[in-house]
Structure 1
Amino acid sequence: MQELMEGSKYPKTSWQVWWKLLRPHTLTAAFIPVVIGTALALELGEVNWLLFAAMLIASLLIQSATNMFNEYYDYKRGLDTAESVGIGGAIVREGIDAKFILKLAFIFFASALALGIYICINSSWWIGAVGIISMAAGYFYTGGPYPIAYSPFGELVAGLFMGLIIILIAFYIQTGTITLESILISIPISILCGAILTANNIRDLEGDKRSGRRTIAILLGHHHSIHFLAGMFIVSYLWIIGMILFVSSTPFLLLSFLSISKAVEAVKGFVGKKKPIEMMPAMKATAQTHTSFGFLAAVGLLLGYFI
């Protein structure tokens, strides 16, 4: 790392800046699905903790690299300025060399690929193909000539890869199979992961519109986007009830409802707000909803196994 930092514009930048570059509030989107998939796998046998650790670190590396690609390409396209609101902007505000960030992102991808090889050796090489596709989605989310983040499909892609795909991989490498319950539990996590993006796009709606983006928030408008976000929360909580009633999932999954106050806070936090800085608390509450919902669901799965 030290050798790499010598190529950056400001090699002595404080660790807080590098930490912010990783966008830590988004890393739970990689952490939670791995924990849920592994917790569910306990029902079918013992867990290989080395595989769990490899999967967890690989997911965090891919998410971090995706954030760096976001940082780099938002800068290249002129979306980030010194006045931009949000945790991004390490290039425009902190002076970190853009090419260094891009290089670091690819190093993170390479590290995740090495861990992926270990996972494949101990599970299935099909996992490698899925992992490559996931990394490609991470890059093309903001990279390439037609970034996914600039389209109405950002929530769908983010939810698919940071919810369903990670949960199923985490479950499969431990059990060698996919079950109906493993698919169903991934749905609300996928939706809430997409909700983080929706909240971000509501905050950035006006700036994104000027830059030519076509996000769901732009297509729906501010008012209807809030309704859309609220609907995502409602479906996620109702989904848990449906799993308990119709799939015989453990009733301990109801612990996830303890996070509902954060969902309400998120929706209320957007109502009547117009300035991006005013919507930051609502965006934070949305991310906290995903984290607390997922963590409590994982605890519920573990309680269902041990009790």
Structure 2
Amino acid sequence: MTIKKIKLFIRASRPFSLTASVIPVVLGGILALKEPNFNYGYFILSIIAIVFLQSSVNLLNDHDDFINKVDAKDSYGSSGVVVEGLLTLKEVYLSGILLLILGCLIGLFLVYNVGKPILILGIIGALCGYFYTGKPLMLKYRGLGAPLVFIIFGPLMTLGGYYLQMHEFTLQSFVISIPTALLTTAILHANDIRDIRHDKRAGIKTLSISIGYKNAQKLYSTLIIIAYVFLIIIIIFKYISYLSLICLLTVPAATKNINKLRAAEDSSNHIAELDKESGKLQGQFGILLILSILLSYIL
């Protein structure tokens, strides 16, 4: 395989979006870092597994969206490798299945060493990932994309990352997952808002189509605002340290994204990059949240 081909597969995996899964898993692990029995091997393997699994979902999503005529040359949603003829449908599908298998194999190793709760979480995540756009469920096309992303890329992954280390679920690990889960959901929602015209043409039904453009705009703003409000609430109730107020440094970026969408006036051209910008916001917020928790162990 040539370097050029490898770069195309990397492009198809959409690296900019991988913070959506890496951050909640790291967050769950970091919450247990101060414990004497912290297992760095499990921590690293969980990150590798989740990168494989999300990359798999992104590849399979490209395949399914092209098959179902959601992606076309004038649309924005995919990585573009299939639409532009850079990779074949078969190559994208098989690479997605391969990464899914590799992610599941690592997951099974962790299940064997940690226990059945990880198996349950893994099965839920893998099935939802495959059937996100895969037949017969095609969950995204039935308007279930946003709630699924919130659950999987929020509580599910953070609780899983924490359980790998502590062999228990806690309220703290659940509530701390909420702000980043909301911001991750905003990434998908930005994508869906931008693609309303193309998705309607393809005959699918996303949440943005169901509630209409104006309400979808309001929902995007609400997801972001609630993320910051919830952060302050869990700081007040001492689930995390006041040091996590450092996450408020991302408010200007959040405000910029909200204002850009409000000014778009139903024009996808003006928000073509909003999903990537929302991904950057989630990544910056998540990294600052993780750093603040690490600092709280030292100070």
Q: TM-score range by the shorter chain?
A: over 0.9
Q: 1:201 aligns with which of 192, 197, 207?
A: 192
How far did 1:87 drift? 4.7
Amino acid at match of 1:282: L
Question: Which residue is equivalent to 2:277?
Answer: 285
Q: What is the deviation of 1:151?
A: 2.3
Q: Structure 1 stretches of 5 or more lacking a match?
A: 3-10
Give the letter for the 1:292 counterpart.
Q
1:263 to 2:254 alignment:
yes
**d(CA) in 1 for partners of 2:150 and 2:285?**
15
Q: 1:283 Cα deviation (Å)?
A: 2.5
Instruction: Please tell me the root mean square deviation across aligned C-alpha atoms, in Å.
Output: 1.7
Change (3 A) 1:180 1:43: farther
Q: State the Cα distance separating 1:248 from its structure 2 match.
A: 4.5
Any stretches of 5+ residues in structure 2 without a counterpart? none
- Counterpart-to-counterpart distance in 2, 1:51 and 1:164: 19
Alpha-carbon distance between aligned partners in 1 of 2:36 and 2:191, rounded to the nearest angstrom? 39
Offset of 1:82 from its aligned partner?
2.3
1:63 aligns with 2:54: yes
Matched, 1:306 2:294: no
1:110 Cα offset (Å): 1.1
TM-score (norm 1): 0.92
User: Which residue number corresponds to residue 108 of structure 1?
Assistant: 99
Q: CA, structure 1 residues 248+139, in 2 after alignment: closer, same or farther (shift >3 Å)?
A: closer
- Residue deviations 1:57-116 (CA, integer Å, cap 9, x gap): 100111000001101011111122223224522112033111221111111111112211
Give the whole-Å Cα distance in 1 for the aligned partners of 2:251 and 2:75: 30
Residue 26 of structure 1 deviates from its aligned partner by 1.1
1:22 aligns with 2:13: yes
Tell me which moved more, 80-89 or 47-56.
80-89
Q: Report the Cα distance in structure 2 between the residues aligned to 1:227 and 1:275, rounded to whole angstroms.
A: 16
Q: CA deviation at 1:47?
A: 2.4
- Confirm or deny that 1:50 pairs with 2:37: no
Aligned pairs for 1:104-143 (under 5 A) are 104-143=95-134
CA distance in 2, matches of 1:265, 1:281: 13
Alignment counterpart, residue 75 of structure 2, candidates 63, 71, 84: 84
Which amino acid in the other structure matches residue 137 of structure 1?
A: C
* 1:144 equivalent among 135, 140, 153: 135
Task: Answer yes or no: is 1:169 the counterpart of 2:181.
Answer: no
Q: Measure, in 1, the Cα distance between the counterparts of 2:252 and 2:36.
A: 35
Q: Which residue of 1 is the match for residue 144 of structure 2? A: 153
Partner Cα separation in structure 2 for residue 198 and residue 45 of structure 1: 40
**Contact 1:259–1:289 at 8 Å: present in 2 too?**
yes
CA gap 1:157/1:86 in 2 versus in 1, 3 angstroms: closer
Identity among equivalent pairs (%) = 29
Q: CA deviation at 1:306?
A: 1.6
**Partners in 1 of 2:184 and 2:263 — Cα distance?**
24
Read off the aligned partner of 1:51 and give its amino acid letter: Y
The separation in 2 between residues aligned to 1:248 and 1:202, in whole angstroms, is: 34
- Following superposition, the deviation at residue 46 of structure 1 comes to 4.3
Separation of aligned partners in 1, 2:100 and 2:156? 17
Does 2:234 correspond to 1:250?
no
| 8 Å contact from structure 1 (residues 269, 281) kept in 2 | no
Aligned pair count reads 298
